[in-house]
Chains A and B, each alone.
Chain A
Amino acid sequence: MLRITFKSLLARKLRLLLTASSVVLGVAFVAGTLMLGDTLNKTFDNLFVTTYSGTDVGVRGKAAFDVSVTDGGDSAQSRPPVPASELAQIKAVDGVKEAEGDSSGFAQIVRPDGKVVDTSGAPTLGGAWLGDTPLNPYRLKTGKAPTATGQVAIDAATADDNKIKVGDHISVLTQAGKGNATVTGIVTFGESGSLAGATVTLFDPGTAQQVLGSPDTYSEILVVGNGSVSDAALRARIAKTLPSTLEALTGQQLADKDSGDIKDALSFFSTFLLVFAVIAVFVGSFIIFNTFSMLVAQRSRELALLRALGASRRQVNRSVIVEAAAVGVIGSTIGLGLGVLLSIGLEKVVGLFIGDLPYSGLVFRGNTVLWAYLTGVIVTVVAAAGPARRATKIPPVAAMRDDIALPESSLHRRALVGSATLIAGVAAMAAGLTAGAGILWVGLGALGIFLGVAMLSPFISRPSVGGIGAVLPRFWGSTGTLARENARRNPRRTAATASALMIGLALVAAGGVLGSSLVKSANAIIDRSVGADFIVTTKNFAPIPATVAKDMQAVDGVDAVTEFRAGQAKIAGSVASLQGVTSDTVDRTLQLDMVRGNLDALSKGELVVSDKLAKDKKWQIGTKVPVVFGETGKTELTVGGTYKENQIAGNYLIGLETYDHNFTQDLDQVVAMTVKPGADLTAVRKDITAAAGASNLEVRDQSEFKAEQRKQINMLLGLVYVLLGLAIFIAALGIVNTLALSVVERTREIGLLRAVGMGRRQVRRMVRLEAVIIAIFGTLLGIVLGVAIGSALVNALHDQGIDQLVIPIGQLVIYFAIGSIIGVLAALWPARRAAKLNVLKAITTE
Chain B
Amino acid sequence: MTAETHPTTAGATTAAARAANLSKIYGKGDTQVVALDNVTVDFPAGQYTAVMGPSGSGKSTLMHCLAGLDSSTSGEVWLGGTELSSLGDKELTRIRRDEVGFIFQAFNLVPTLSALENITLPMDLAGTSPDKEWLDKVIDTVGLRDRLRHRPSELSGGQQQRVACARALASRPTVIFADEPTGNLDSKASGEILTFLRDCVRTMGQTIVMVTHDPAAAGFADRAVFLADGRVVDEIADPTAESVLDRMKNLDAPAQAGS
Q: Which residues does A use to contact B, with CB under 8 Å?
A: 477-479, 481-482, 485-486, 488-489, 748-749, 752-760, 762, 839-840, 843
Contacts and interface: CB of A to CB of B under 8 A. Distances in A.
Contacts of A760: 89-90, 93
A478 B167 CA distance: 14
Nearest to A487: B112
Given A477-B124, A478-B121, A757 B98 contact: yes
B126 A489 contact: no
B55 to A, nearest CB: 14
13 contacts: A477-B124, A477-B125, A488-B112, A748-B107, A749-B107, A752-B108, A754-B93, A754-B96, A756-B96, A756-B122, A757-B94, A758-B125, A840-B69
A479 B113 contact: no
Contacts of A481: 113, 117, 124
B258 interface: no
B157 to A, nearest CB: 11
A478 to B, nearest CB: 4
Nearest to A486: B112
Nearest to B71: A840
Residue among A478, A482, A754, A758 facing the most chain B CB atoms (10 A cut-off): A478
Chain A interface mostly:
helix
A808 B216 CA distance: 72
B9 to A, nearest CB: 32
A752 B104 contact: yes
Listed from nearest, the 9 A-B pairs whose CB atoms lie closest are: A757-B97, A485-B112, A478-B124, A759-B93, A757-B122, A840-B69, A757-B96, A756-B122, A840-B70
Contact of B125 (A486, A489, A762): A762
A479 B122 CA distance: 11
Nearest to A836: B89
B59 to A, nearest CB: 14
B155 to A, nearest CB: 13
Nearest to A488: B112
Contacts of A752: 104, 107-110
A139 B93 CA distance: 80
Contacts of B110: 482, 749, 752-753
Contacts of A485: 112-113
Contacts of B125: 477-479, 753, 756-759, 762
B102 interface: yes
Contact of B167 (A754, A756, A758, A843): A756
B64 interface: yes
B97 A756 contact: yes
Nearest to B69: A840
A758 B93 contact: yes
Interface residues of B, number: 29
Contacts of B7: none
B111 interface: yes
B144 to A, nearest CB: 18
Contacts of A759: 89-90, 93-94, 125
A759 B121 CA distance: 12
Contacts of A749: 107, 110-111
B120 to A, nearest CB: 8
A534 to B, nearest CB: 67
Contacts of A488: 112
A483 to B, nearest CB: 10
B98 A489 contact: no
Residue among B89, B108, B110, B167 facing the most chain A CB atoms (10 A cut-off): B110
A758 B92 CA distance: 10
A475 to B, nearest CB: 12
A162 to B, nearest CB: 65
Nearest to A757: B97
Given A481-B113, A486-B112, A754-B93, 18 more contacts: A477-B125, A478-B124, A482-B112, A485-B112, A485-B113, A489-B111, A752-B107, A752-B109, A753-B125, A756-B121, A756-B125, A756-B167, A757-B94, A757-B96, A757-B98, A757-B122, A760-B89, A843-B69
B93 A757 contact: yes
Contacts of B109: 752
B111 A478 contact: no
Contacts of B64: 840
B127 interface: yes
A488 B111 CA distance: 12
A604 to B, nearest CB: 82
B93 A489 contact: no
A752 B164 CA distance: 11
Contacts of A477: 124-125, 127
A536 to B, nearest CB: 67
A264 B240 CA distance: 93
A845 to B, nearest CB: 9
A482 B122 contact: no
Nearest to A485: B112
Contacts of B90: 759-760
A479 B126 CA distance: 10
A843 B126 CA distance: 20
Contact of B112 (A489, A748, A757, A758): A489
Interface in B46-93: 64, 67, 69-70, 89-90, 93
Interface in B116-152: 117, 120-122, 124-127
B183 to A, nearest CB: 13
Contacts of B93: 754, 757-760
Contacts of A762: 125
Residue among A752, A753, A757, A758 facing the most chain B CB atoms (10 A cut-off): A757
A755 to B, nearest CB: 5
A489 B120 CA distance: 21
Residue among B70, B107, B108 facing the most chain A CB atoms (10 A cut-off): B107
B75 to A, nearest CB: 18
A748 B110 CA distance: 10
B104 A839 contact: no
Nearest to B126: A757
B34 to A, nearest CB: 18
Contacts of A753: 110, 121, 125
B179 to A, nearest CB: 9
B252 to A, nearest CB: 26
Residue among A479, A488, A755 facing the most chain B CB atoms (10 A cut-off): A755
B204 to A, nearest CB: 19
B245 to A, nearest CB: 27
Nearest to B171: A757
Contacts of A756: 96-97, 102, 121-122, 125, 167
Contacts of A479: 125
Contacts of A486: 112
A479 B117 CA distance: 11
A239 B111 CA distance: 87
B117 A478 contact: yes
A268 B240 CA distance: 87
A421 B37 CA distance: 67
B17 to A, nearest CB: 16
A486 B69 CA distance: 25
Residue among A486, A756, A759 facing the most chain B CB atoms (10 A cut-off): A756
A488 B113 CA distance: 12
Given A756-B122, A757-B122, A757-B125, A482 B113 contact: yes
